[in-house]
Structure 1
Amino acid sequence: MEEQDNFYEIVTEDAGEIEQTYEEPLVRVPDPITVQGSGHITVFGMCNKFNDEFPAPLIGKIAPEEFNATICRINRRLGKMVSMNLNWLLFGCLCCCCTVGCSAWPVVCMNKRTKRTLAKALDWENRQLYHKLGLHWKLAKLKPTNSNMQEYVLLIEFIPKLPVYRPD
């Protein structure tokens, strides 16, 4: 496939004028990298730990130490929040008969709080380092291939570089 700029001349019969149009080649962006949960506790699709193995597509993009530092920060927050959610879930299940199911609401609210906390942490990481490197981290729901349940994963997306030196 050609990577050159293509110019076309369009001749209109009415005025006899020549117009030039510019066709810009498509910018290819690699598929996002998925970091799966690897912990032993999962509450409402949120695992208590993400896999800290360095993905191969990130070689040359970031240092493994930066990746591990980010994953450690995320895992530390997740470990605290998910274990607290599990405690509230167990308490809610014990009290479910007396409260007609209302004891499950604290777990749902704390799960939303966990997602917000992780989104803020990832936003901070993106602003400090990853946007400068052309990467964007986000928390996303993903349906595994072997299950009907959805789980939360970390997606590392590549930000396309715009050709700045191309003519308008």
Structure 2
Amino acid sequence: MADFDEIYEEEEDEERALEEQLLKYSPDPVVVRGSGHVTVFGLSNKFESEFPSSLTGKVAPEEFKASINRVNSCLKKNLPVNQVLENYFFEKPFFQTITRRSIEKLLEWENNRLYHKLCLHWRLSKRKCETNNMMEYVILIEFLPKTPIFRPD
């Protein structure tokens, strides 16, 4: 009778193990690199709009291209203004942060609008360049694990 009121944590351990297993089997993220035009502190002024083959069946090519075009228009709008202001005020990291934050807000809006429903997550990430030792900003498209809907809470 002493075991009647005791709370066991085995179920929580099983849930954690299941979540780790789901994360382990998720595919590698898709990397969308800058097209190599002008880079300011690793931030390209344009991202490649070519549809990656690993996203086939996950998202429509038209939606992907529209999202990349929104990011590119944000970059096109912000980078020339930042370069002019950097020449006057010498506050390069500040203006680069403004552009980066506006892109991150745009990607979060895209995630909430469409991509989280498709189990995808877009984010801006800093990665090492393949050709040299510098860092560049890339768009990472991560695959989110699907929530098991048939498992009880």
What TM-score do the two structures reach when normalised by structure 2?
0.81
Q: Rg larger in 1 or in 2? A: 1
Whole-Å separation in 1 of the counterparts to 2:136 and 2:18: 38
Identity of aligned residues (%): 49
> Quick one: which amino acid aligns to residue 96 of structure 2?
N
The equivalent of 2:141 in structure 1 is 156
Whole-Å separation in 2 of the counterparts to 1:128 and 1:71: 15
CA contact (8 A) 1:29 1:160 kept: yes
Whole-Å separation in 2 of the counterparts to 1:41 and 1:146: 16
Structure 1: unaligned runs, 5 residues or longer: 1-18, 93-102
Which consecutive segments of 4 or more residues in structure 1 shift more than 6 A?
none
The equivalent of 2:68 in structure 1 is 71
> Quick one: which amino acid aligns to residue 57 of structure 2?
G
CA contact (8 A) 1:48 1:83 kept: no
CA RMSD of aligned residues (A): 2.2
Q: 1:147 to 1:42 in 2, by over 3 A?
A: same
Q: Post-superposition shift, 1:41?
A: 1.1
> Quick one: which amino acid aligns to residue 90 of structure 2?
A
Q: Post-superposition shift, 1:40?
A: 1.4
The equivalent of 2:80 in structure 1 is 83
The equivalent of 1:166 in structure 2 is 151
Whole-Å separation in 1 of the counterparts to 2:37 and 2:81: 14
Whole-Å separation in 1 of the counterparts to 2:128 and 2:95: 22
CA contact (8 A) 1:43 1:85 kept: no
Give secondary structure in 1 for the equivalent of 2:129: coil
Alignment coverage as a number of residue pairs: 138
Residues 61-103 of structure 1: CA deviation (Å, up to 9, x unaligned): 01000001000111001011112222234x25xxxxxxxxxx4
Between 1:29-38 and 1:139-148, the stretch displaced more is 139-148
> Quick one: which amino acid aligns to residue 144 of structure 2?
I
**Higher helix fraction: Structure 1 or Structure 2?**
2
- Give yes or no for the alignment of 1:118 onto 2:115: no
What TM-score do the two structures reach when normalised by structure 1?
0.74
